[in-house]
């Protein structure tokens, strides 16, 4: 394999993202290397390159909705093999020792690492990931449709899960996560109400296009069932 790869690099200069040739990363113990097939764009990527998050790694490769196939496996990795397709999210490593990690809430870890922020992400030909933070991707999804599930889908599904078996779901703010979770909730037979910024017709029509029963301003009162068609 070539020793270099193409990558989009953010270093705080201009242009915001620069295409560069960088070294192909080598997986360490417990890590795998993935040949990237697709990587979505999350609002957080924009926060990072706009300088709104305080401590990105130097010469950062952003991107954390990554799908690709494993092409190298580091020492000690079990359950993942070369050629397997996986997805890689924002959360890229946790300490395994803090009170949050030990209580099954590693998303709150005291010493986390994040793809596309404190470790390199997916806007490159290859990315190295902690094997513990790689997800198997079912064959029913192609690369492009699987990628957004790694952040927008994951966040949306977590909130839907937290809502229990509620039949009427109100979503405030209608972006990437909402447009996925609405489709899931509607497929489950639930009714979705979308609240957007006042006058955001584009978000409101997206909401009704993907199945929301009602879409309106966050300053509006929630409609009651009798108001619905
Ligand atoms: Zn994200
Ligand atoms: Zn921890």
CA 149 to ligand 2 centroid distance, Å: 24
The pLDDT value recorded for residue 153 is 95
Distances (CA, A) of 78 to 126, 133, 138: 20, 13, 19
- Delimit the domains of the chain by residue range: 4-144, 153-227
Which band of pLDDT confidence, cut at 50, 70 and 90, is reported for residue 169? very high
Q: Is the pTM of this model over 0.75?
A: yes
The pLDDT value recorded for residue 197 is 95
**Model pLDDT for residues 33-47, shown as the tens digit of each residue:** 999 999 999 999 999
**Model pLDDT for residues 84-107, shown as the tens digit of each residue:** 999 999 999 999 999 999 999 999
Could you say which of 2.30.110.10, 1.20.1250.20, 3.30.465.10, 3.90.180.10 is the CATH number of the domain covering 4-144?
3.90.180.10
- Indicate if the pLDDT at residue 143 is higher than 80: yes
Average pLDDT over residues 54-76: 96
State how far the Cα of 141 lies from the Cα of 186, in Å rounded to an integer.
19
State how far the Cα of 221 lies from the Cα of 205, in Å rounded to an integer.
18
Q: Which ligand is nearest to the CA of 149?
A: 1
Which pair of structure tokens corresponds to residue 37?
């097939």
CA 20 to ligand 1 centroid distance, Å: 23
Residue 193: strand, helix, or coil: strand
Which band of pLDDT confidence, cut at 50, 70 and 90, is reported for residue 228? low
The pLDDT value recorded for residue 229 is 56
Contact in structure between 146 and 38 (CB atoms under 8 Å): yes
Determine the Cα angle at 150 with ends 148 and 155, to 5°: 95
Give which of 113, 119, 34, 111 is closest to 74, Cα–Cα: 34
Contacts of 182 (CB under 8 A, 6+ apart): 171, 192, 194, 207, 210, 211, 212
- Indicate if the pLDDT at residue 8 is higher than 80: yes
Could you give the count of Cα atoms lying within 13 Å of 166 in the half-sphere of its Cβ?
13
Ion ligand 2 residues within 5 Å by Cβ? 94-95, 98, 101, 109
Contact in structure between 156 and 175 (CB atoms under 8 Å): no
CA 43 to ligand 2 centroid distance, Å: 25
Tell me which architecture the domain covering 153-227 has in CATH. Answer: 3-Layer(aba) Sandwich (3.40)
- Indicate if the pLDDT at residue 74 is higher than 90: yes
Which band of pLDDT confidence, cut at 50, 70 and 90, is reported for residue 15? confident
**Would you put residue 83 in left (φ > 0), alpha (ψ -120 to 50) or beta?**
left
Contact in structure between 205 and 215 (CB atoms under 8 Å): yes
Which residue has better confidence, 74 or 54? 74
Q: Which ligand is nearest to the CA of 93?
A: 2
Q: What is the mean pLDDT of the chain?
A: 94
State how far the Cα of 160 lies from the Cα of 188, in Å rounded to an integer.
11
CA 56 to ligand 1 centroid distance, Å: 15
- Indicate if the pLDDT at residue 2 is higher than 60: no
CA 5 to ligand 1 centroid distance, Å: 24
**Model pLDDT for residues 19-29, shown as the tens digit of each residue:** 999 999 999 99
């Amino acid at each position: 394999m070539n020793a270099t790869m193409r990558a989009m690099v953010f270093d705080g200069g201009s242009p915001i993202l620069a295409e560069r040739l960088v070294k192909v990363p080598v997986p360490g113990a417990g890590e795998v290397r993935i040949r990237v097939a697709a990587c979505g764009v999350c609002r957080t990527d924009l926060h990072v390159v706009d300088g709104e998050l305080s401590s990105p790694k130097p010469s950062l490769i952003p991107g954390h909705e990554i799908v690709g196939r494993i092409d190298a496996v580091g020492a000690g990795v079990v359950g993942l093999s070369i050629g397997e397709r996986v997805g890689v999210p924002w959360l890229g490593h946790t300490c395994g020792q803090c009170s949050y990690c030990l209580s099954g809430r590693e998303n709150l870890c005291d010493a986390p690492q994040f793809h596309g922020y404190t470790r390199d992400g997916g806007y490159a030909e290859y990315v190295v990931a902690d094997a513990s933070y790689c997800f198997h991707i079912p064959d029913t999804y192609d690369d492009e449709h699987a990628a957004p599930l790694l952040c927008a889908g994951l966040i949306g599904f977590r909130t839907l899960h937290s809502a229990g078996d509620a039949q009427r779901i109100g979503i405030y703010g209608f972006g990437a996560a909402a447009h996925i979770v609405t489709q899931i909730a509607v497929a489950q037979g639930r009714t979705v109400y979308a609240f957007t910024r006042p006058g955001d017709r584009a978000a409101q029509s997206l909401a009704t296009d993907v199945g929301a029963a009602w879409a309106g301003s966050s300053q509006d009162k929630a409609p009651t069932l009798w108001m619905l068609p």
